[in-house]
Amino acid sequence: MSKIDTNRPFLPVRIAVMTVSDSRTLETDTSGAALVARIEAAGHIVAARTIVSDDTDLIAAQLGAWIADPLVDVVITNGGTGVTGRDVTPEAFERVLEKRIEGFGELFRMLSYQKIGTSTIQSRAVAGVAGGTYLFALPGSTGAVKDGWDDILVFQLDSRHRPCNFVELMPRLREGLKETSHHD
C-alpha cells in the first residue's frame, strides 16, 4: 500500500500553474488559487502562474516556454479539458508531449467518478513528459483541481511517497536527450 516514508527527505519541486480560460482573471481564478494554495501548503514552490486563453497555439507556446525553463520542474494546467469547441488544452499538450502518462487521466476519472458519477466522462484530463518536465492537465472546476491535487498529485510529487513517485524519476527524465538535465 502507498504511504509517506518519513525516513526519506522531502524534496520541494518547482511548479508552474496555468489557468486556461477566456474569462478568468487572477482575481476571479478560484481554481488556480486553490491549486497554488495546495502547492504551497505541501511545501513546493510556485515557480510561475498565468492565465492563458483557450487557444491551442498560446497554450502550447506557454507550455514550451516552461518546458525550456530550468526553474520549472512541473506544469499543472486547469481548464480547457472538456469537449466543447473552445476546450483545446489536450490538443496543445499533444503538440509538446514526448511521452504520455496514460494512467493519470484514467486515475483522475476513476476518482472523479466516485464524486460526480458518469459526468466524469466529459473530462479529458491528460499528463505526460516533455524536455524533462512533467505536464498535468486538470479540468477547470475548483472541485476537479482539488481532487487532482489531493487524490493524486500531492502524493506523486512527494519524494517520500512509497513505493514510488514522480520526483525520484526527475533526474532520469532527460535520459537519451542530447542536452544535460536541468533537474539534477
User: 48-94 pLDDT, tens per residue?
Assistant: 999 999 999 999 999 999 999 999 999 999 999 999 999 999 999 99
CA–CA separation, 51 and 18 (whole Å): 6
Nearest to 93, CA basis, from 70, 121, 67: 67
Architecture in CATH of 10-167: 3-Layer(aba) Sandwich (3.40)
Section 4-19 average pLDDT:
96
- What's this model's pTM, rounded to 2 decimal places? 0.93
Give the pLDDT score at 82.
94
- Looking at residue 176, its pLDDT comes to 72
Q: In this predicted model, what pLDDT tens digit does every residue of 135-170 receive, in sequence order?
A: 999 999 999 999 999 999 999 999 999 999 999 999
Extended strands (E) in the chain: 3-4, 14-20, 45-52, 74-78, 99-100, 126-130, 133-138, 161-162
Q: Residue 25: name the closest of 58, 51, 61 by CA.
A: 51
- Tens digits of per-residue pLDDT, 111-123? 999 999 999 999 9
Degrees (nearest 5) of the Cα angle 141, 143, 147?
Answer: 120
Residue ranges of domains in the chain: 10-167
178 against 159, higher pLDDT: 159
The confidence band for 180, taking pLDDT boundaries of 50, 70 and 90, is very low
Q: Report how far residue 182's alpha carbon sits from residue 3's, in angstroms, rounded to the nearest whole number.
A: 28
Say what angle helices 56-68 and 89-96 make with each other, to 10 degrees.
Answer: 40
- pLDDT above 70 (res 17): yes
Question: What is the pLDDT, as a whole number, of residue 95?
Answer: 98
